[in-house]
Amino acid sequence: MSDSPLSRDAVTELVKTQLAEILEKSPSDIDVSATFAALGADSLALIELVEAIEEQLTPIVGEFHIDDEDLEGLTTVQEAVDYVTAKLAA
Protein backbone atom coordinates (compact mmCIF):
# COMPACT_ATOMS: atom_id res chain seq x y z
CA MET A 1 0.00 0.00 0.00
CA SER A 2 1.48 3.34 -1.00
CA ASP A 3 1.26 6.58 0.90
CA SER A 4 0.66 8.47 -2.32
CA PRO A 5 -2.25 10.93 -2.18
CA LEU A 6 -3.25 9.82 -5.68
CA SER A 7 -3.76 6.29 -6.97
CA ARG A 8 -1.91 5.06 -10.06
CA ASP A 9 -5.24 5.21 -11.91
CA ALA A 10 -5.71 8.86 -10.91
CA VAL A 11 -2.17 9.69 -12.07
CA THR A 12 -2.80 7.84 -15.35
CA GLU A 13 -5.99 9.83 -15.93
CA LEU A 14 -4.22 13.09 -15.08
CA VAL A 15 -1.36 12.42 -17.51
CA LYS A 16 -3.70 11.24 -20.29
CA THR A 17 -6.09 14.16 -19.84
CA GLN A 18 -3.35 16.79 -19.82
CA LEU A 19 -1.55 15.24 -22.79
CA ALA A 20 -4.81 14.94 -24.75
CA GLU A 21 -5.53 18.62 -24.14
CA ILE A 22 -2.05 19.64 -25.33
CA LEU A 23 -2.25 17.42 -28.43
CA GLU A 24 -5.90 18.34 -29.09
CA LYS A 25 -6.99 14.71 -28.87
CA SER A 26 -9.48 12.82 -26.74
CA PRO A 27 -8.04 11.17 -23.60
CA SER A 28 -9.39 7.88 -24.98
CA ASP A 29 -7.00 8.33 -27.94
CA ILE A 30 -4.00 8.31 -25.60
CA ASP A 31 -2.62 4.77 -25.27
CA VAL A 32 -0.46 4.47 -22.15
CA SER A 33 1.96 2.14 -23.94
CA ALA A 34 2.47 4.61 -26.80
CA THR A 35 5.62 6.66 -27.08
CA PHE A 36 5.28 10.41 -26.95
CA ALA A 37 6.74 10.55 -30.47
CA ALA A 38 4.08 8.15 -31.79
CA LEU A 39 1.39 10.36 -30.29
CA GLY A 40 2.88 13.40 -32.03
CA ALA A 41 4.25 15.02 -28.88
CA ASP A 42 7.43 16.98 -29.52
CA SER A 43 9.74 18.40 -26.88
CA LEU A 44 7.60 21.53 -26.54
CA ALA A 45 4.50 19.42 -25.92
CA LEU A 46 6.39 17.48 -23.24
CA ILE A 47 7.41 20.70 -21.51
CA GLU A 48 3.75 21.78 -21.57
CA LEU A 49 2.79 18.38 -20.15
CA VAL A 50 5.29 18.69 -17.29
CA GLU A 51 4.06 22.20 -16.48
CA ALA A 52 0.43 21.03 -16.54
CA ILE A 53 1.17 18.05 -14.25
CA GLU A 54 3.09 20.27 -11.83
CA GLU A 55 0.25 22.80 -11.86
CA GLN A 56 -2.39 20.12 -11.21
CA LEU A 57 -0.47 18.30 -8.46
CA THR A 58 0.99 21.20 -6.46
CA PRO A 59 -2.37 22.18 -4.85
CA ILE A 60 -2.96 18.52 -3.93
CA VAL A 61 0.46 17.44 -2.66
CA GLY A 62 2.37 20.67 -2.11
CA GLU A 63 5.31 21.72 -4.29
CA PHE A 64 5.67 19.15 -7.09
CA HIS A 65 8.49 19.44 -9.62
CA ILE A 66 9.72 17.25 -12.46
CA ASP A 67 13.42 17.77 -13.24
CA ASP A 68 14.41 18.40 -16.85
CA GLU A 69 17.00 15.61 -16.62
CA ASP A 70 14.27 13.18 -15.56
CA LEU A 71 11.99 14.30 -18.37
CA GLU A 72 14.63 13.37 -20.96
CA GLY A 73 14.44 9.72 -19.87
CA LEU A 74 10.66 9.45 -20.24
CA THR A 75 9.62 8.22 -23.67
CA THR A 76 6.17 6.69 -23.11
CA VAL A 77 3.00 7.71 -21.33
CA GLN A 78 3.44 4.70 -19.00
CA GLU A 79 6.96 5.82 -18.04
CA ALA A 80 5.58 9.26 -17.19
CA VAL A 81 2.84 7.70 -15.05
CA ASP A 82 5.38 5.43 -13.32
CA TYR A 83 7.68 8.39 -12.67
CA VAL A 84 4.95 10.62 -11.22
CA THR A 85 3.51 7.76 -9.14
CA ALA A 86 6.95 6.92 -7.70
CA LYS A 87 7.71 10.57 -7.01
CA LEU A 88 4.39 11.02 -5.19
CA ALA A 89 5.07 7.95 -3.06
CA ALA A 90 8.61 9.07 -2.17
pLDDT digits (tens, 9 = 90+) for 44-84: 999 999 999 999 999 999 999 998 888 888 999 999 999 99
pTM for the model stands at 0.89
pLDDT at residue 38 above 90? yes
Instruction: Indicate the burial class of 24 (C-beta count within 10 angstroms; 0-12, 13-18, 19 or more).
Output: exposed
What's phi and psi for 15, nearest 5 deg? -65, -45
CATH code, residues 8-89: 1.10.1200.10
- Mention every residue, 6+ apart, whose C-beta is less than 8 A from residue 31: 39, 77
Q: In the chain, where are the structural domains located?
A: 8-89
